[in-house]
């Protein structure tokens, strides 16, 4: 496990935990990106409207 | 706490450094191999930010020369925690606060280019009424793409027990006494009700997590190709945080009330009892008080309000929960409510039975309060006075104990369902048996009741 060794981790992250985390991380990363995108869109229109 | 010079028995897993006692103080030895990470935690400002926000125990750098036997990079002297407590002694909200503290630290660490390399519940303690992280060597440099190495441990130490306490039974926190590295996720998954599978966070972090562990348990996988974006990692931490925040526990109706109302005191007797406790405390001038059978802490607060470090032990998770919530609400710094069954107090557990200390090892306290307790031990638990006195003499120097006679309605209630096999349960015999271990320094009858309060000093 390359990161564990490089980072000098001393606990076993566990293969199953590792793989699952990467999958969930990918899903949540996308959700996170969509959320940020909508936040920006909303902020843009809010700004536009307040200007108007 | 019994303090001997030498290494702390629980400090061996992480090779970054270790803890040792010297001259009554605790020190943290930082190994050379942790140099780069240690320097980064200091130079990046992470250490200062965490200490300033009350999330990490502050330490003094006392110089590597302090530890002459080992070639240490640094020797640190952290602020001493007056009383070490463990997750199986915490109520629901204490474990939840410890979980949120850990995640808050992880989020801050990422902002400073570091990440937590472990997330053990034992790294959190309570200091001045607040949860605080005690391991300053738990941080390592974060590299883009790196998943959270402590994810499994977080789920086992925090999410699984909190979910079990919330969805099944609050007493399941006691599984911590058996499973020192947190609740195995397959066990948590099988115990949790199936409706928890409809919550994404519990479905993923516990149920699917357990399945994934089982599936990959006997497989060798090259994980070096798997990367996790920073956004993914932040999403994961956020998901754990909202999962923990949503978990709630509320004692059933009725459990919250009638703690003091159902006791045998008139308002005048209660006032007098409080005054007597205050007087006895002033006489013994303790630094550390243990209130045994503290309920929600009415009498503990007589001590803690005087600035005395007070541990309020009770067997009832609802009482400890209520007490802790009051502490947080009023921002009380000197009282720590903890769960404890006196008839089976926390033992020494872990490797060589030395990792986590028993209650006896964490004593003695200067003064112990044992109010309205003796009948529960002697009658409900069949303990002879001699054995109770023996135990108390091991955990305190001063004992403030209330004798509740057989004629008291609370004792009558205990005897109503069983045969009275306690001919020796008399005040005279109580005095003679406790007299073997203690000298009776004073006693006072409590008005409008049949009870007597004693102040005793260990022989």
Decide if A11 and B117 are in contact by the 8 Å CB cutoff. yes
Comparing CA positions, the residue from B115, B8, B44 lying closest to residue A11 is B115
Where are the domains positioned within chain B? Answer: 6-78, 87-216+225-246, 267-458
Task: Tell me which H or E stretch contains B427.
Answer: helix B427-434
How far apart are the C-alpha atoms of B429 and B183, rounded to whole Å? 46
Handedness of CA B385, B389, B392, B397 (dihedral sign): positive
Name residues 363-382 of chain B within 8 A of A (Cβ): none
Chain A residues with beta carbon closer than 8 angstroms to that of B236: 21, 24-25, 28
Indicate which of B208, B215, B232 best probes the interface with A, i.e. most A CBs within 10 Å of its own CB.
Answer: B232
pLDDT for res B1: 52
Using a CB–CB cutoff of 8 Å, tell me whether B34 touches chain A.
Answer: yes
- For chain A, say whether B234 makes contact (Cβ under 8 Å): yes
Residue B346: CB atoms within 10 A of its CB come to 21
| Count of C-beta atoms within a 10 Å radius of residue B214 | 13
pLDDT at B278 over 90: yes
SS3 A50: helix
- A42: closest CA of chain B, how far (Å): 21
**B147 closest CB neighbour out of A11, A21, A31:** A21
Where does residue B219 rank: exposed (0-12), middle (13-18), buried (19+ CB within 10 A)? exposed
CA distance B51 to B49: 6
Distance CA B314, CA A22 (A): 42
The region of weakest confidence among A10-24, B128-142, B370-384 is A10-24
Task: Say how many C-beta atoms besides its own lie within 10 A of residue B329's C-beta.
Answer: 8
Under an 8 A CB cutoff, do A24 and B221 touch?
A: no
Residue B60 sits at φ, ψ, to 5 deg, of -105, 140
Q: Long-range contacts: B429-432, Cβ < 8 Å, 24+? A: B429/B385, B430/B374, B430/B385, B430/B403
- Tell me which residue of B14, B29, B25 sits closest to B71, measured CA to CA: B29
Q: Whole-angstrom Cα distance, residue B455 to residue B128?
A: 28
The B residues from 181 to 210 touching A (CB cutoff 8 Å) are: 204-205, 208-209
Q: Which residues in chain A touch residue B146, judged by CB atoms under 8 angstroms apart?
A: 3, 7
The pLDDT tens digits for B300-332 are 999 999 999 999 999 999 999 999 999 999 999
How far is residue B267's CA from residue B383's CA, in Å, rounded to a whole number? 31
Each residue of B154-203: pLDDT tens digit?
Answer: 999 999 999 999 999 999 999 999 999 999 999 999 999 999 999 999 99
Alpha-carbon distance of B112 to B46, in angstroms, equals 6
Q: Which residues, other chains included, contact B359 with Cβ-Cβ below 8 Å and sequence gap of 6+?
A: B340, B345, B346, B395
pLDDT of residue A2: 38
Instruction: State the DSSP H helix or E strand holding residue B454, giving kind and residue range, or none if neither.
Output: strand B452-458
3-class SS at B433? helix
pLDDT band at B258 (very low <50, low <70, confident <90, very high): low
**Tens of pLDDT along A9-48?**
677 888 899 999 999 999 988 887 888 788 888 888 888 8
Nearest CA in chain A to B211: A16
- Please write the tens of the pLDDT for every residue from B211-236: 999 999 888 877 777 789 999 999 99
B392, burial (CB in 10 Å: exposed 0-12, middle 13-18, buried 19+): buried
Q: By CA distance, what is B142's nearest residue in A?
A: A7
For residues B415-443, average pLDDT: 95
The angle at the Cα of B405, spanning B402 to B407, to the nearest 5 degrees, equals 145
Whether B100 contacts B245, CB under 8 Å:
yes
Averaged pLDDT for residues B56-61: 96
B140: DSSP letter: E
| Per-residue pLDDT at B264 exceeds 80 | no
Is B267-458 a domain of CATH 3.40.50.150? yes
Question: Which pLDDT value is given to residue B262?
Answer: 57
Tell me the DSSP string of B149-194: TTHHHHIIIIIHHHHHHHHT-GGGGGGGGT-TT---HHHHHHHS-G
**Are A7 and B233 a contacting pair at CB < 8 A?**
no
Average pLDDT, chain B: 93
């Amino acid at each position: 496990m390359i990161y564990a060794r490089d980072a000098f981790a001393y606990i076993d992250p566990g293969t199953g935990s590792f793989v699952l985390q990467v999958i969930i991380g990918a899903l949540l990363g996308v959700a996170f990106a969509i959320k940020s995108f909508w936040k920006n869109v909303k902020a843009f229109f809010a700004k536009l409207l307040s200007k108007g | 706490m019994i303090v001997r010079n030498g290494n702390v028995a629980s400090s061996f897993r992480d090779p970054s450094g270790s803890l040792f006692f010297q001259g009554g103080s605790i020190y943290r030895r930082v190994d050379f191999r942790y140099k780069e990470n240690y320097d980064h935690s200091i130079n990046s400002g992470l250490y200062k930010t965490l200490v300033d926000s009350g999330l990490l125990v502050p330490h003094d750098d006392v110089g590597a020369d302090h530890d002459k036997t080992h070639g240490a990079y640094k020797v640190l002297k952290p602020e001493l925690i007056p009383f070490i407590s463990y997750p199986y002694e915490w109520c629901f909200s204490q474990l939840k606060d410890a979980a949120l503290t850990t995640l808050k630290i992880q989020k801050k660490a990422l902002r400073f280019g570091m990440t937590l390399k472990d997330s053990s519940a034992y790294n959190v303690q309570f200091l001045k009424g607040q949860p605080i992280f005690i391991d300053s060597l738990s941080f390592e440099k974060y590299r883009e793409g790196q998943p959270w190495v402590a994810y499994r441990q977080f789920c086992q130490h925090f999410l699984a027990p909190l979910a079990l306490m919330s969805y099944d039974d609050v007493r399941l926190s006691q599984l911590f006494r058996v499973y020192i590295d947190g609740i195995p996720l397959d066990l948590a998954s099988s115990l949790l009700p199936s409706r928890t599978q409809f919550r994404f966070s519990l479905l993923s972090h516990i149920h699917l997590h357990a399945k994934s562990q089982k599936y990959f348990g006997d497989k060798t996988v090259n994980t070096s190709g798997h990367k996790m974006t920073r956004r993914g990692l932040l999403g994961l931490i956020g998901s754990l945080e909202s999962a923990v925040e949503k978990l709630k526990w509320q004692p059933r109706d009725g459990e919250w009330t009638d703690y003091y109302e159902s006791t045998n005191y008139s308002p005048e007797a209660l006032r007098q009892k409080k005054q007597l406790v205050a007087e006895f405390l002033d006489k013994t001038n303790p630094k550390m008080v243990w209130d045994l059978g503290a309920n929600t802490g009415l009498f503990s607060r007589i001590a803690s309000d005087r600035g005395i470090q007070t541990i309020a032990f009770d067997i009832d998770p609802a009482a400890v929960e209520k007490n802790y919530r009051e502490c947080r609400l009023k921002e009380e710094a000197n009282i720590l409510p903890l769960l404890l069954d006196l008839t089976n107090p926390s033992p020494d557990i872990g490797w060589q039975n030395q990792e986590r200390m028993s209650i006896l090892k964490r004593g003695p306290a200067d003064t112990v309060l044992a109010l309205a307790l003796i009948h529960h031990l002697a009658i409900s638990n069949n303990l002879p006075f001699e054995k109770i006195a023996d135990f108390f003499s091991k955990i305190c120097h001063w004992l403030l104990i209330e004798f509740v006679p057989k004629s008291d309605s609370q004792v009558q209630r205990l005897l109503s369902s069983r045969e009275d096999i306690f001919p020796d349960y008399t005040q005279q015999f109580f005095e003679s048996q406790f007299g073997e271990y203690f000298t009776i320094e004073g006693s006072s009858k409590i008005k409008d009741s049949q009870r007597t309060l004693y102040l005793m000093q260990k022989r």
